[in-house]
Amino acid sequence: GAVVSQHPSRVICKSGTSVKIECRSLDFQATTMFWYRQFPKKSLMLMATSNEGSKATYEQGVEKDKFLINHASLTLSTLTVTSAHPEDSSFYICSASLPGQGDNEQFFGPGTRLTVL
Amino acid sequence: QKEVEQDPGPLSVPEGAIVSLNCTYSNSAFQYFMWYRQYSRKGPELLMYTYSSGNKEDGRFTAQVDKSSKYISLFIRDSQPSDSATYLCAMRRNQGGKLIFGQGTELSVKP
């Protein structure tokens, strides 16, 4: 149980285009989802916390107009990288907390590797 | 100074060795401590979860937390090639709080 999926697993796009990444909790309803960014050999950096039906809470330094997050249902959150540039190339990972666990445990998706040319 | 420090390695050990992975942290308010394993190009998976100080054992894995020294460890006994991965420590102040990750230690277990 507690499986989180992401789609796509890998995307290559041209500079200036927008890319949407989906995060789904497959066998549970997640009231809270998280979006992280990970650079090679670096730790995961929390970008934003997404709660179903409300606006996402962004971490300091993360541009909310560039990284649009929508948590439309209890099983789906999306991250849209708008007007992507090469510096946005990274590994994006989502996670979802299991309800009733006091948010003590986050289950991570497999990640999406974004390459902006 | 980073809130959580972790030696990135790489750490290479022979099969069957005992592996010790460590993290130090600066914020004494951290109470929840986790270890995640991340295979290449995959998302992290939770290995161990500990609240406050003490030890926790699960199979070949043992997690230790020493809050007085702000130091946590993960021990892997009888290491296997399948244990080759990056191990990330993570911690948070309270339930629902933000997870702060270490940089991750890359482990390679040689047959």
What pLDDT, in 10s, does the model give residues B57-109?
999 999 999 999 999 999 999 999 999 999 999 999 887 678 899 999 999 99
For residue A101, what pLDDT is reported? 56
- Among the listed residues B70, B19, B6, the one whose alpha carbon sits nearest the alpha carbon of residue A42: B6
Q: CB of A27 within 8 A of CB of A5?
A: no
Whether B3 has a pLDDT exceeding 70, the answer reads yes
From chain A, pick out residues whose CB is under 8 angstroms from the CB of B43: 4, 6, 93, 95, 108-111
B107 and A CB contact within 8 Å: no
From chain A, pick out residues whose CB is under 8 angstroms from the CB of B8: 41
For chain A, how are helix, strand and coil distributed in percent, rounded to 5?
A: 5, 50, 45
Whether B1 has a pLDDT exceeding 80, the answer reads no
Return d(Cα A25, Cα A36) in angstroms, integer: 16
Whether B37 has a pLDDT exceeding 80, the answer reads yes
Return d(Cα A81, Cα A44) in angstroms, integer: 18
B98 and A CB contact within 8 Å: yes
Token output for B15: 């099969």
From chain A, pick out residues whose CB is under 8 angstroms from the CB of B95: 102-104
Residues above pLDDT 90, as percent of chain B: 77
Per-residue pLDDT of chain A (117 residues; tens, 9 = 90+): 688 999 999 999 999 999 999 999 998 888 789 999 998 878 899 999 988 888 899 999 999 999 999 988 889 999 999 999 999 999 999 999 876 655 457 889 999 999 999
Q: Where are the alpha helices (DSSP H) in chain A?
A: none
What residues have CB less than 8 Å from A63, skipping those under 6 apart? none
Locate the DSSP E strands across B1-111: 4-6, 11-14, 19-25, 32-38, 45-51, 54-58, 61-66, 71-76, 85-92, 100-101, 105-110
| Alpha-carbon distance values, B82 to A25, B63, B108 (Å) | 27, 19, 9
Question: Quick one: how far is CA A109 from the chain centroid?
Answer: 9
Q: How far is A76 from chain B (nearest CA, A)?
A: 17
For residue A77, what pLDDT is reported? 93
Q: Which residue has the higher pLDDT, A74 or B20?
A: B20
CB contact under 8 A, A108 and B43: yes
- Facing residue for A104 by CB, picked from B8, B95, B98: B95
For residue B70, what pLDDT is reported? 95
Nearest 10 degrees: Cα torsion B51, B44, A112, A39: 80
